[in-house]
């Protein structure tokens, strides 16, 4: 069954939120803390190794209640059930959306077109496991009987961003294989990647759900040509594998049937790292860690599916995002992981979020009259502090921020980690509390700058009242990373449901592709 079709702005909750916004907009985060000594505890959710603290936001319990009212009025619970049960919620493409089935730890059957998909998922997982074991152990040999040393993932968008983000994020758990990613059709990207590679010891994974994507097919063709300069056609089966739904096109490309890993139409590209699209992850960190990633995601799925909205992390974070986008008119959200390993997380979430919710037509086919999808950006702290945080602290825009931090570091560098986390909490506090005229005055006086007080004062005041969510996780493990990614996937889903849009198609990317083809064919 399809998703319900409810314009959020026609709900009572939306109207109440509009009135409530008038009460809240002039209030400072500091005031909320002053009037509720228990705020931190009340506005926190614990889940496994996660602690989500959303107390540093411009809202109170009434805001949350009304936002939950909105979720109820648009029948979010019904949408969640349909999402997990494989209903055709991607209605414009007539597809189910079942990335959650790829990582389910339950034995229950899940049906697509009257067929239980769990056995084929398990078969694909076993194939990933066996292949990873062979390549990592060195049993898989190249055409000159040497072990594989390098892996190249050839793909773009969802066939690149997820795997490359996770391989980077889990670098600590990596084995001896060097994993490279080629995505851009810019020939210099391929050139730079293959420059130092030995065709005898390199394995190429061509990842393309459709196997028609111009960038991927061009890059794969160039690499194949380069490979055949030193090897013969027979060698291709030892060095090229593919992940796709388009079996004919893959075979036409010359790839052995047994070297094809499946993909399915019920998995969106940007939600596909849990499928064989994540083969490079399993090769980089081993199947056991890949499985842990899936388990972590599945635990977040269960939390999302079963928890009340008040204690539901993806629901609460999504609602807070709606509050800022639709009532405060915020246009962007910054993701700030305080871990160098997660430097690519925001680039990954950019696609997940912006390709999903960058829509201006609702489920009636009518233009929306309210804002939808946000601009997602960010990079690792503390580097961000020395680059663009100035604008977030003292600029004119409201930019809600997600701070993601870990209690423990992986190398156990205590001094570094304590400094890193002091910055993490320092930024959150500065953004929330700011620095008043009186405090700046006192500071300048203390520094002996009495003569400069009047001139410097306005520039040194921090208004504060800048909203943040704190996502504090025990340690960066494959399992916790899986939960973190799934959290954001579900946040995107909830927002799409509330905005009454279709989050799982991406027709907006087609026109530019068509024109590029036309322009190229005319040359």
Give the range of 151-159, 282-290, 435-443, 471-479 binding ligand F6P by CB under 6 A. Answer: 151-159
Give the range of 112-120, 154-162, 389-397, 472-480 binding ligand F6P by CB under 6 A. Answer: 154-162
Strand order in the sheet with 178-182: 178-182, 150-154, 202-207, 240-244, 260-262
The footprint of ligand F6P on residues 327-386 (CB under 6 A) is 355
Using rule CB under 6 A, residue 516 touches ligand F6P: no
Strand order in the sheet with 44-47: 44-47, 50-53, 468-473, 401-406, 332-337, 375-377
Strands (E), 146-288: 150-154, 178-182, 202-207, 240-244, 260-262
CA distances for 243 relative to 120, 143, 209, 250, angstroms: 14, 21, 7, 9
Two tokens, residue 146: 């040497």
Give 213 or 465: the residue with its C-beta nearer to ligand F6P.
213
Give 269 or 467: the residue with its C-beta nearer to ligand F6P.
269
| Residues 6 or more apart whose Cβ sits within 8 Å of residue 370 | 8, 9, 326, 499
Q: Quick one: which of 392, 395, 418, 396 has its CA closest to 407? A: 418
The Cβ-side half-sphere exposure at 284, using a 13 Å CA radius, reads 27
Two tokens, residue 177: 């294989």
Helix/strand/coil (H, E, C) string of 422-486?
HHHHHHHHHHHHCECHHHHHHHHHHCCCHHHHHHHHHHHCECCCCCEEEEEECCCCHHHHHHHHH
The distance of closest approach from Cβ of residue 136 to ligand F6P in the complex, given in angstroms and rounded to an integer, is 25
11, 159, 282, 477: residue in contact with ligand F6P (rule CB under 6 A): 159
Using rule CB under 6 A, residue 269 touches ligand F6P: yes
Given the residues 200, 292, 333, 355, the one annotated as active site: 355
Give 216 or 480: the residue with its C-beta nearer to ligand F6P.
216
Instruction: Give burial (CB, 10 Å; 0-12/13-18/19+) of 400.
Output: buried
The distance of closest approach from Cβ of residue 375 to ligand F6P in the complex, given in angstroms and rounded to an integer, is 18
The footprint of ligand F6P on residues 476-515 (CB under 6 A) is 506, 509
Give 432 or 486: the residue with its C-beta nearer to ligand F6P.
486
Using rule CB under 6 A, residue 276 touches ligand F6P: no
The distance of closest approach from Cβ of residue 220 to ligand F6P in the complex, given in angstroms and rounded to an integer, is 10
Strands (E), 268-359: 332-337
8, 86, 142, 158: residue in contact with ligand F6P (rule CB under 6 A): 158
96, 156, 368, 487: residue in contact with ligand F6P (rule CB under 6 A): 156
The distance of closest approach from Cβ of residue 354 to ligand F6P in the complex, given in angstroms and rounded to an integer, is 11
Q: Which residues pair with 435 in a beta bridge?
A: 462
Using rule CB under 6 A, residue 157 touches ligand F6P: yes
Total number of residues that touch ligand F6P (CB under 6 A)? 14
What is the Cα–Cα distance from 223 to 218, expressed in whole angstroms?
9
Site string for ligand F6P, 170-209 (x = CB under 6 A): --------------------------------------xx
Give 50 or 211: the residue with its C-beta nearer to ligand F6P.
211
Give 172 or 507: the residue with its C-beta nearer to ligand F6P.
507
The distance of closest approach from Cβ of residue 255 to ligand F6P in the complex, given in angstroms and rounded to an integer, is 15
Given the residues 257, 386, 518, 522, the one annotated as active site: 386
Residue carrying the six token digits 């943040």: 468
Q: Which helix (H) or strand (E) holds 406?
A: strand 401-406
Q: 523 an active-site residue?
A: no
Give the angle subtended at the CA of 323 by the CAs of 320 and 327, to the nearest 5°: 165
Q: 28 an active-site residue?
A: no
The footprint of ligand F6P on residues 65-94 (CB under 6 A) is none
The footprint of ligand F6P on residues 203-222 (CB under 6 A) is 208-210, 213, 216
Site string for ligand F6P, 436-475 (x = CB under 6 A): ----------------------------------------
216 in Cβ contact with 207 (< 8 Å): yes
Give 158 or 286: the residue with its C-beta nearer to ligand F6P.
158
User: Helix 76-85 and helix 287-306: axis angle, to 10°?
Assistant: 150
243 in Cβ contact with 205 (< 8 Å): yes
For the chain, how big is the Rg over CA atoms in Å? Answer: 25
The distance of closest approach from Cβ of residue 209 to ligand F6P in the complex, given in angstroms and rounded to an integer, is 4
Q: 355 an active-site residue?
A: yes
Give 48 or 210: the residue with its C-beta nearer to ligand F6P.
210
347 in Cβ contact with 337 (< 8 Å): no
Give the range of 79-87, 153-161, 290-298, 372-380 binding ligand F6P by CB under 6 A. Answer: 153-161
The residues assigned a catalytic role are 355, 386, 513
**Which residues of this chain interact with ligand F6P, rule CB under 6 A?**
156-159, 208-210, 213, 216, 269-270, 355, 506, 509
């Amino acid at each position: 069954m399809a998703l319900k079709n409810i314009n959020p702005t026609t709900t009572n909750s939306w109207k109440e939120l509009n009135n409530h916004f008038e009460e809240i907009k002039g209030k400072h985060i500091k005031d909320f803390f002053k009037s509720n000594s228990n705020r931190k505890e009340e506005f926190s959710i614990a889940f496994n190794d996660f602690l989500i603290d959303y107390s540093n936001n411009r809202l109170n319990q009434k805001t949350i209640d009304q936002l939950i009212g909105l979720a109820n009025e648009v029948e979010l619970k019904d949408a969640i059930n349909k999402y997990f049960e494989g209903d055709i919620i991607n209605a414009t493409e007539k597809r189910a959306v079942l990335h959650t089935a790829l990582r389910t730890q339950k034995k229950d059957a899940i049906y697509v077109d009257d067929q239980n998909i769990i056995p084929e998922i398990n078969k694909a997982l076993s194939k990933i496991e066996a292949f990873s074991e062979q390549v990592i152990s060195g049993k898989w040999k190249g055409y000159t009987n040497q072990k594989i040393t390098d892996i190249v993932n050839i793909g773009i968008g969802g066939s690149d961003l997820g795997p490359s983000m996770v391989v980077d994020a889990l670098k600590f758990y990596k084995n001896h294989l060097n994993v490279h990613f080629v995505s851009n059709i810019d020939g210099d990207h391929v050139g730079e990647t293959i420059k130092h590679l030995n065709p005898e010891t390199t394995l190429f994974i061509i990842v393309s759900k459709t196997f028609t994507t111009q960038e991927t097919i061009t890059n794969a063709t160039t690499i194949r040509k380069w490979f055949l300069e030193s090897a013969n056609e027979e060698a291709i089966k030892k060095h090229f594998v593919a992940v796709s739904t388009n079996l004919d096109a893959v075979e036409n490309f010359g790839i052995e049937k047994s070297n094809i890993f499946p993909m399915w139409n019920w998995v969106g590209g940007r939600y596909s790292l849990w499928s064989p699209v994540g083969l490079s992850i399993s090769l980089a960190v081993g199947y056991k860690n890949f499985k842990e990633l899936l388990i972590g995601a599945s635990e977040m799925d269960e939390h999302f599916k079963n928890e009340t909205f008040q204690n539901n992390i993806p629901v609460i974070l999504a609602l807070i995002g709606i509050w800022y986008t639709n009532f405060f008119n915020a246009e962007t959200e910054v993701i700030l992981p305080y871990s160098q390993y997660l430097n690519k997380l925001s680039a990954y979430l950019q696609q997940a979020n912006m390709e999903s919710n960058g829509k201006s037509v609702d489920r009636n086919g009518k233009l929306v009259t309210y804002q939808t999808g946000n601009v997602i950006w960010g990079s690792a702290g503390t580097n961000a502090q020395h680059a663009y945080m100035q604008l977030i602290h003292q600029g004119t825009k409201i930019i809600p921020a997600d701070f993601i931090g870990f209690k423990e570091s992986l190398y156990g560098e205590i001094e570094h980690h304590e400094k890193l986390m002091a910055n993490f909490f320092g930024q959150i506090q500065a953004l929330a509390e700011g620095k008043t005229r009186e405090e700046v005055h006192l500071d300048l006086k203390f520094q002996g700058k009495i003569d400069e007080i009047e001139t410097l004062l306005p520039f040194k005041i921090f208004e504060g009242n800048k909203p943040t969510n704190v996502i504090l996780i025990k340690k960066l493990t494959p399992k916790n990373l899986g939960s973190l990614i799934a959290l954001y996937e579900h946040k995107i889903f909830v927002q799409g449901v509330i905005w009454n849009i279709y989050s799982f198609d991406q027709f907006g990317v087609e026109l530019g592709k068509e024109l590029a083809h036309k322009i190229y064919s005319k040359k």
